[in-house]
């Protein structure tokens, strides 16, 4: 995967203004699917069409449980930087993929396709964390971080907990993006596969406090 690593270009934009599970599901935040509704930070109230969201995204139940329980944990000051951080999580995921994954165009086409999706996730995270992904009590910590280094890449500092919040927001964010339906389906499929990867690696990606909160919510 060295070629993939060489191609990756981190965005410097900063904040400012397979399918998991089965059975019947209910809608969480607009466009996300889970067993129960969830509320994320700065939830959008802009609706989709009567026929449903333009960009539906299925998030595994265990990950949504972590979202539900987050507000019980944010009063505890999170230690930054987080390890693994978002950049490492994304880079490590790329290394797990076969070179000809999900393409009929050959190895180079597969690498480029996954690189574009992962770089899109990275870009959205760096761009939107400050304005969309923080709860109120986290704002002072973020402001202090930016005060010390205004050029810091938040994907180098924050971890899986905030990355998961971004996926809750993606249906709203990508609904507004101009793209062909075929591209929407392809991106959604790959995002759901990445979420399945996060779900399979919860113990190594999320803090012990988040894991404990997820277990308590099952009782």
pLDDT at residue 75 tops 90: no
CATH of 2-7+23-216, one of 1.10.274.30, 1.10.40.30, 1.10.1450.10, 1.10.150.20: 1.10.274.30
Length of the chain counted residue by residue? 219
Using DSSP, state whether 42 is helix, strand or coil: coil
Return the domain boundaries, the chain.
2-7+23-216
55 against 5, higher pLDDT = 55
Using DSSP, state whether 176 is helix, strand or coil: coil
pLDDT at residue 218 tops 60: no
pTM: 0.68
Going by C-alpha positions, the residue among 173, 86, 185 that lies closest to residue 126 is 86
pLDDT digits 0-9 by tens, 122-172 = 999 999 999 999 988 889 889 999 999 999 999 999 999 999 999 999 998
- Sign of the CA dihedral 84, 86, 87, 88? positive
pLDDT at residue 29 tops 70: no
Mean pLDDT of 59-69: 83
Tokens of 161: 């907990």
pLDDT digits 0-9 by tens, 177-204 = 888 888 888 999 999 999 999 999 999 9
């Amino acid at each position: 995967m060295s070629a993939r690593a060489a191609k990756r270009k981190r965005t410097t934009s900063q904040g400012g203004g397979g399918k998991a599970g089965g059975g019947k599901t209910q809608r969480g935040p607009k466009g996300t699917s889970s067993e129960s509704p969830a509320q994320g930070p700065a939830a959008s109230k802009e609706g989709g069409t009567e026929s449903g969201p333009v960009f539906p995204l299925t998030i595994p139940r265990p990950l949504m449980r972590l979202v539900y329980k987050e507000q019980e944990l944010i009063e505890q000051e999170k230690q930054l930087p987080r390890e693994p951080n978002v950049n490492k999580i994304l880079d490590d995921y790329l290394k797990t993929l076969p070179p000809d994954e999900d393409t009929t165009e050959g190895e180079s086409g597969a690498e480029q396709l996954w690189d574009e999706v992962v770089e899109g996730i990275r870009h959205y995270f760096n761009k939107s964390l400050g304005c969309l992904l923080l709860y109120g009590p986290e704002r002072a910590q973020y402001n202090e971080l930016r005060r010390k280094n205004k050029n810091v890449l938040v994907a180098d500092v924050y971890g899986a907990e905030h990355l998961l919040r971004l996926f809750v927001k993606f249906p709203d964010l990508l609904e507004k993006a101009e793209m062909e339906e075929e591209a929407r389906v392809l991106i959604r499929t790959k995002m759901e596969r990445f979420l399945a990867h996060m779900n399979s690696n919860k113990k190594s990606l999320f803090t012990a406090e988040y894991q404990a909160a997820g277990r308590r919510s099952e009782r």
